[in-house]
Structures are given as structure tokens and as C-alpha cells.
Amino acid sequence: MTVRKTIMQDMKLADFPEEIDEQNGIKVYGETSWENQLAVLSHYLHNNGCIQSEENKKEIIYAIREFLERKKGNKDEEITDEFVARVAENPIEYNLFSDFFNIPFPDPAEPRFTFIDLFAGMGGFRLAMQAHGGKCVFSSEWNKYAQKTYLANFGEMPFGDITKEVTKSYIPQSFDILCAGFPCQPFSIAGVSKKKSLGRETGFKDKTQGTLFFDVADIISRHRPKAFYLENVKNLMSHDKGNTFQIIKGALEELNYSLHYLVMDGQTYVPQHRERIMIVGFNRDIYHGKEQFAFPEQKLATRSIKEILDPNVDDKYTLSDKLWSYLQNYAEKHRAKGNGFGFGMVNLNGISRTLSARYYKDGSEILIPQGDGMNPRRLSPRECARLMGYPDNYRLNQVSDVQAYRQCGNSVVVPLITAVSEQLVKTMLAD
């Protein structure tokens, strides 16, 4: 039996260029980059009618033509302007875009609310929000490998760099919830202090300019969603002696949102110790600070690492003698100095350490014992995905093991995000 490969599976890394064009910030194909064309096209397909401007309609037609040209390959078929225009008017009527819909995680048939997915990564926030009836109307992720994984699972290519105005221009004016697992960057408070000393007021633009959080705050300021849900590392609370979090908190409150935040541990839902801060905000113009929101109850681990392990894994995941010897010697050297640096051998009846984006290097933080006479092994990418709460029908094979490890290590714990999202959505939709 032959298996038909989809357009998405046929894409080569050359389709996701690494070279930077100094003028445009991206390598271009024709008028725009192929990845941006895919973003325009896939967003249009999933949100038919949401893109209204004449300029965006031209982009859609251009993207459809480019897609059809690539799909036909070397076949001697003419794609006329009239045909492209008809397809653009009603794309679903034409059986040309099935690859964007033959996906494991489609949009809900009857959405209850809309959301946007910033710093989207593997789409953990999207899985959570879709589980409660949410429809994603915009996604953004700069990493080309994460874009491929996201496209394979949701049929939508995320737009690229959210710090660029051209990317922000694709965000619909109205949506209900903003989701963002934004990276933490240091804030410079020197300029803020100087303005205060001169008796001048400072706004979030002064306080956060130059950081990725600024772009989150900027989008909240422009679009005024009903609510937002942000996730970050636990250390955000203590970074720069607490100044970083105070700037973030102050900026969000200045935008007239009431805040709820809590450090939560993923071990309530998956067999992994993973502490992250959850920040939920509600628009005071709508809820007046009277929303009845509460984070879900936190519990100690109820699952063990052995539940996510495959009985048979490829030998390539077993540590080589050289690497295993190195890790043991490294750990012993640091033990002799009185500190705890070293590998993490898992108790199969317990939980693991925190999975990191560097796991692909040696797997040292989470090693699986394999019995006497055998070196331990690292988790497979599928096992890492399970450790983050992704279901087994989530597609991982669009990228290499190295990239899959990185994406899992950078991801959110899906069932934790889903549990918090349930409370957020229930509060937002309450009469």
C-alpha cells in the first residue's frame, strides 16, 4: 500500500530560508517569503472572510497562485488569473487545500470564543484553548522548525517575528483572549528612574521598550482583548530582585487589566517537576475588577515516569560508553567540591526533573535506567512530548530529533495550561 505524502511533508528546509535579506529581514521569493505566503494562505483558509483590506486580498491571491504553482510541480498546466480569483472567493469549495484540514487538531466546529497564539512554539496554548471551544484567529512563531511542527498539527503556518509591524498588521482587530508564553528578557530601569527623578510620568512603552514583553503589552493596548493568559519561568518573580516582575505587573495594570498570578507546578498533571508562573488578566473596562477567577487546585504528583515510557525504544537513545563515563566523572568531580551538579537518574515510580531545551545534548537531566550491565538512556522525542502532556496523535516527525527535543523543552505543560484555561474561559463567559 502506498501512502500519499502531503504538501506539508514534502516541504524541504530550503522552503524555510535561514538567509537574511538586509532590506526586508527575510529571504524573499518573488514579492514575499514563501513562509509568509503560507501564513497568509493558511490563516485565510481557517478564518475565511477575516482578511478584509485590498492589500491583504492581493497577498492572498499571490499566495494562492504560488501554492498552486508549487503543487502542480512540473505538470504542464496553466493557472489563469480567473481561476485563482475564483479560488480566492471560495477556497473551501475547491478540493485543493485538503492538506491544511487533514490534521489531528482542527478548529472547533462551533467556537465559543476567539484567541491569538503568540510565541506559539508547538501549540500548547492552542491545544488548551481549543479544548474549551476556542478558535485561533492569529498565530505567531519565529522559529522555522516550530513553524513546521505547528503547521503539521493545526494546518496553519504561524506568522514570523512579532516584533515587526508587518507581522502585527495581520492580527484581527477583535479577539477575546491573548495567549503568550513570552521569553523573559531583562528590563533596564535606568531611564524610568531618571524620568521619575524629574517628576515625569512613565508608561509601559518607556518601561518595557526593547523587550519581547513590550510587544505583548503593545498588542494588548491596541486590541483590548477581554482577557489574556501569559506563562513564564518561575524566576520571573525574583529576576533583578523582583524589579522585572514589578515592571510587568505595573505595565499590565496600567493598561487597565486586573491581574491574577500564581507559580504552579506541572507535576499535578504530568510526572515532571516543572514550576512556571501563570499570569491571567481581565479587562477592567468589561469586568470592573469583579471577575470571579480562581486558579485550579494544585496537588502533589499522582503519575509516575514509567507511565510515559515505551517498552521498546531504538538503541540510539542509549548513552554511549564515552558519554556515560563523562557524565559520571563530571558528577563525581562536582560532588567532591560539595555541590550537586550532575546527571538525574529517574526513579521510575517517581517524577523527573524539569525537561530543558538543551536535553538533546546529552539527556543528562532525565536519564532512564535500563538495568544492570546497560547504560541508561535518554527519553525519546515522543516520550518527551508525553512528559509535556501532548497526546500521541500529535505529529512530531516533521523535524529532526534535535529540533523535537528543543521544542518539547521550550513548551508549556499542556494539561496544566488546559486546567487554567478552563477557569479563565468559565470566568470570561460567565453572565
The CATH number assigned to the domain holding 182 equals 3.40.50.150
pLDDT (mean) for 71-100: 80
Q: What is the pLDDT of residue 30?
A: 39
DSSP character at residue 29: B
Residues 267 and 368 in one domain: no
Average pLDDT over the chain, rounded to whole? 85
Asked if the structure places residue 262 within a domain, the reply is yes
Residue 359 banded pLDDT, cuts 50, 70, 90 = very high
Residue 59 banded pLDDT, cuts 50, 70, 90 = confident
Q: Answer whether 81's CB lies under 8 Å from 396's CB.
A: no
Q: What is the pLDDT of residue 295?
A: 98
Q: How far apart are CA 20 and CA 206, in angstroms?
A: 29
Asked if the structure places residue 305 within a domain, the reply is no
pLDDT (mean) for 22-38: 57
In the chain the first and final C-alpha atoms are separated, in Å, by 54
DSSP character at residue 24: T
Asked if the structure places residue 1 within a domain, the reply is no
Q: How far apart are CA 21 and CA 360, in angstroms?
A: 30
Q: Answer whether 149's CB lies under 8 Å from 398's CB.
A: yes
Residue 3 banded pLDDT, cuts 50, 70, 90 = very low
Return the higher-pLDDT residue of 275 and 94.
275
Asked if the structure places residue 352 within a domain, the reply is no
Residues 148 and 261 in one domain: yes
Q: What is the pLDDT of residue 379?
A: 98
SS3 213: helix
Give the count of beta carbons closer than 10 Å to the beta carbon of residue 420: 22
Residues 142 and 230 in one domain: yes
Q: What is the pLDDT of residue 32?
A: 64
Does pTM surpass 0.85?
yes
Asked if the structure places residue 108 within a domain, the reply is no
Domain range for 385 is: 310-347+358-409
Last residue of one domain, picked from the residues 46, 69, 100: 100
Q: Is 91 exposed, middle or buried (0-12, 13-18, 19+ CB in 10 A)?
A: middle
Last residue of one domain, picked from the residues 100, 130, 146: 100
Give the count of beta carbons closer than 10 Å to the beta carbon of residue 71: 14
CA neighbor of 39 nearest in space, from 19, 21, 60: 60
pLDDT (mean) for 405-412: 96
What are 272's three cell numbers?
Answer: 515532571
pLDDT digits (tens, 9 = 90+) for 126-151: 999 999 999 999 999 999 999 999 99
Sign of CA dihedral 281, 428, 170, 54: negative
Residues 96 and 206 in one domain: no
pLDDT higher than 70, residue 84: yes
Residue 54 banded pLDDT, cuts 50, 70, 90 = low
Asked if the structure places residue 399 within a domain, the reply is yes
Return the higher-pLDDT residue of 51 and 284.
284
Return the higher-pLDDT residue of 204 and 88.
88
Q: How far apart are CA 381 and CA 396, in angstroms?
A: 8
Residues 136 and 281 in one domain: yes
Q: Answer whether 385's CB lies under 8 Å from 194's CB.
A: no
pLDDT (mean) for 314-330: 94
Asked if the structure places residue 353 within a domain, the reply is no
Q: How far apart are CA 92 and CA 101, in angstroms?
A: 10
Q: How far apart are CA 164 and CA 166, in angstroms?
A: 5
Q: Percentage of residues in the chain with pLDDT exceeding 70? A: 82
CA neighbor of 333 nearest in space, from 322, 345, 325: 325
Residues 285 and 425 in one domain: yes
Residues 290 and 330 in one domain: no
Q: What is the pLDDT of residue 10?
A: 43
Q: How far apart are CA 272 and CA 353, in angstroms?
A: 6
Overall number of domains in the chain: 3
- Range from 22-26, 373-377, 394-398, 403-407 carrying the lowest mean pLDDT: 22-26
Return the higher-pLDDT residue of 56 and 261.
261
Residue 373, sorted as left (phi over 0), alpha (psi -120 to 50) or beta, turns out to be: left
Q: What is the pLDDT of residue 107?
A: 95
CA neighbor of 27 nearest in space, from 220, 160, 204, 188: 160
Residue 424 banded pLDDT, cuts 50, 70, 90 = very high
Residue 196 banded pLDDT, cuts 50, 70, 90 = low
Q: Answer whether 153's CB lies under 8 Å from 102's CB.
A: no
SS3 107: coil
State the CATH number of the domain containing residue 388: 3.90.120.10
pLDDT higher than 70, residue 186: no
Q: How far apart are CA 252 and CA 426, in angstroms?
A: 22
Q: What is the pLDDT of residue 412?
A: 97
Positions marked catalytic: 184
C-alpha dist (Å) from residue 136 to 74, 126, 360, 427 = 35, 7, 31, 19
The shares of helix, strand and coil residues in the chain, as percent rounded to the nearest 5, are: 45, 10, 45
Asked if the structure places residue 11 within a domain, the reply is yes
pLDDT (mean) for 324-343: 81
Residues 366 and 399 in one domain: yes
pLDDT (mean) for 281-286: 98
Sign of CA dihedral 122, 126, 130, 135: negative
- Range from 11-25, 285-299, 337-351, 381-395 carrying the lowest mean pLDDT: 11-25
Residues 51 and 92 in one domain: yes
Return the higher-pLDDT residue of 218 and 68.
218
Last residue of one domain, picked from the residues 100, 122, 138: 100
Q: Answer whether 417's CB lies under 8 Å from 124's CB.
A: yes
Residues 284 and 418 in one domain: yes
Residues 265 and 143 in one domain: yes
Residues 333 and 187 in one domain: no
